[in-house]
Chain A
Amino acid sequence: MKTTTVGAVHDRIVIAHGGGGELMGRLIREHILPPLHNPHLATLGDSVVLPWAGGDLVFTTDSYVVTPIEFPGGDIGRLAVCGTVNDLAVMGAVPLVLSLGLILEEGLPLAVLDRVLASIAATAREADVQIVTGDTKVIERRTTGDGASPTASPGLFINTAGIGRLRSGVRLGLERVVAGDALLVTGPIAAHGLAVMSVRSGLEFDSSLRSDVAPLNGLIAAILDTGADVKFLRDATRGGVAGVLADICDASGLSLVIDEARVPLSVTARHAAEMLGLDPLTVANEGCCVAVVGGGDAERIVRVCREHPLGNQAAVIGEVTDSRPPLVELVTRAGGRRVVQRPYGEELPRIC
């Protein structure tokens, strides 16, 4: 007996793609499974059974709603893999498996979905993780305020959860931070947020302004493999480096002094931040991690980072001190000093 095809060939997501019927089956079989193929996913079970030999597990989840879906240097798929992989890696875990929840908006071109899935697959390979379970939903096209006209372009939202194995012997925690420790960043800052914002605001900068979105587990493994005294790691995503430094200051009760001239920042990013009226320290990164390490080990760790392609501009940017009250202070390029605050929400480009 011949199976009848459902409807016409679709080039965009329709509500029926989420209906649990044949159209959804085809979406999963033809678009989602092939790029991500692995035996766990192929069973299409309600859950996945993972063998486990013991030890501590690290588990995290994150949702991704970035617009535009594709931006210079990456896309929402690469972001969804890297964000969760990096959240595991900075805890001292080896990321192993991810789940993938897709929420597709009616009208989304299948070509866009295919590109995002290909990007997810490529990034997962790069990060050496497998996507072992997933879910797909379709939502109705969102409309603007008057309820009449649809929003500019249909969206795609992703949730990924990730499981990693905690590396043995790793002790990371803000309680270990003491005065004299060094502060490092693993790469040039602010590229991701500025790349996304400049697309959103229609500003064209030099094409070298690209998101830094990348899986950091390899670089972090290289740092931890040195056996150096690494005390704390965090990827400087929303809130930027300033947000991470504020967290360190709040939790440790210690002051941090950073030297603006030592903070790696591309010329293009500096100009873009200047134009948008943003402080690069507060702009989001997706492939840059802040590390607190024992002062004596800092230079060794920087050397190791610089041998890794994602860490070739790693730098010591400052140190932890016990000056009171606890503050994050920046020594500016001009030789002045100022306080660095945690950004307070959405950073809005200025008027003029």
Chain B
Amino acid sequence: MKDRIAPLVEELHHCCREVGRRIQLMEVCGTHTVALFRHGIRALLPANLRLVSGPGCPVCVTAQRHIDAAIELATQPGVILATYGDMLRVPGRRGSLERVRAAGADVRVVNSVLTALELARQHSARPVVFLGVGFETTAPATAAAVLKAERSGLMNFFVLACHKLVVPAMKALLAAGDVPLDGFLAPGHVSVIIGSRAYEPITAEYGRAVVVAGFEPEQMLRGLVALVKQVADGRAAVENVYTGVVSDQGNAVALALLQRVFIAADTPWRELGVIPESGLELAPAYRRFDALVHFGIEPGADQEHPLCRCGEVITGRVEPPQCPAFADACTPMSPIGPCMVSSEGTCAAWYKYGRGAPGDHVRQSAPIGEPRV
């Protein structure tokens, strides 16, 4: 592998030298954040290239009010709450799903919404609520499950819909304008569904480069090289180095499922507030599957921990070591914020792979925010 990697690293260094100034790129997706650390790529980057992590970890961006609603649902009599494993430990105002499970609530970890549907079939007398989190990668499966539940007349299956859309969040970040970014390394998984053309507003309206890449070291480096080349040439285009996996148009079947079952809605993001048309709620025809409607639960307000700076972390405003709680009050053992909980969270990745490395970018992290030239 080294034989293929070394020339790419050299090319990246060459391109960055050519640009001369500091370049700041955002890897949008949590999987990229972790993969960059895990493969040691961050240690190979040129000094004037900085990568900041974006709002692409589904656990990290789920609003606290939705966690609180999930906990409230899980404690309703008879309810089985089915969730992906990494939501278990995310702290809400009244503890976490893990804590209410320990106190007797029936919280089941599932790896697929289809397992939740199966639970609803097995326990026909009990309401089964699926905690629908994730971006366009997991949302089509939730949509398919809702349709399946409808077809088979399952009356006890419900969804707490917290699905989010990637591009509106990128636009919101750029519109806020306080994080200087030259371009985005766009996530392979999400792009399989939405297609590379979905990023055209980023290049057209905001003039930032976007390159879609996979998660292998070679893919990520190819993506970074392509981004830096665009910066060097003063271009802003959507490029795709994950060809063969990601198409221009995306997955038509999955997109049709989303269109049928969901409508885009203004949605709260953890620490980012409400972003217009950035989330998915159930379309009127499927509202009977909406857990909040069925149980009459109104999500409350968000009240973040005063020490937590996850919101700034997932928007690239600070790096985890700049948070006073990082690796001190907030660790994976007792996380304060969701970025430390999720295996894909930026803080967890820094804690796990970067903490304490000699001469590493972790402890000697400089503030982000140097103006874009």
Chain A residues in the interface with B (C-beta under 8 A): 144-146, 149, 201-203, 261, 277-279, 323-325, 327, 329-339, 341, 344-345, 347-352
Contacts and interface: CB of A to CB of B under 8 A. Distances in A.
B332 interface: yes
Interface string B110-150: 01100100000001001000000111011000000000000
A351 B59 contact: yes
A277 B34 contact: yes
A220 B41 CA distance: 37
Nearest to A324: B358
B43 A350 contact: no
6 contacts: A202-B112, A334-B44, A336-B40, A339-B353, A344-B333, A348-B86
A201 B358 CA distance: 38
Nearest to B136: A352
B126 A146 contact: yes
B111 A339 contact: no
B356 A338 contact: no
A80 B101 CA distance: 28
B354 A348 contact: no
Interface stretch (B2-10, B172-180, B310-318): B2-10
B286 interface: no
Contacts of B105: 145
Which 8 A-B residue pairings sit nearest by Cβ, starting from the closest?
A: A336-B40, A145-B106, A332-B40, A348-B85, A334-B217, A201-B111, A352-B137, A344-B332
Interface residues on B, range: 35 or more
A339 B356 contact: yes
B40 A330 contact: yes
A351 B141 CA distance: 12
Contacts, number: 127
Given A277-B344, A351-B134, A352-B134, A335 B358 contact: no
B21 interface: no
Nearest to B8: A334
A200 to B, nearest CB: 8
Contacts of B137: 352
A252 B84 CA distance: 39
A327 B2 contact: no
A277 B343 contact: yes
A337 B355 contact: no
Given A202-B115, A352-B135, A333 B2 contact: yes
B370 to A, nearest CB: 25
Contacts of A149: 123, 126
Contacts of A348: 85-86, 88, 109, 343
A145 B104 contact: yes
A340 to B, nearest CB: 8
Interface in B7-61: 9, 31, 34, 37-44, 58-59
Interface string B156-191: 000000000000000000000000000000000100
A350 B357 contact: no
B244 interface: no
A339 B357 contact: yes
B357 A337 contact: yes
A205 to B, nearest CB: 13
B352 interface: yes
B40 A331 contact: yes
A351 B218 CA distance: 23
A348 B343 CA distance: 8
B95 interface: no
B78 interface: yes
B203 interface: no
B96 interface: no
Interface string B335-373: 000000011100000011111111010000000000000
Given A277-B34, A338-B43, A351-B58, 5 more contacts: A201-B111, A331-B40, A333-B2, A334-B221, A336-B217
Nearest to B9: A335
A203 B355 contact: no
Contacts of B354: 338-339
Given A334-B40, A335-B2, A348-B88, A325 B333 contact: no
Contacts of B80: 144
Given A149-B123, A344-B331, A327 B44 contact: no
Nearest to B58: A351
B86 to A, nearest CB: 5
Contacts of A335: 2, 5-6, 9, 40, 44
A335 to B, nearest CB: 5
Contacts of B217: 332-334, 336
Nearest to A144: B106
Contacts of A332: 38-40, 217
Contact of A352 (B42, B87, B138, B355): B138
B77 interface: yes
Contacts of A341: 351-353, 355
Contacts of B31: 277, 350, 352
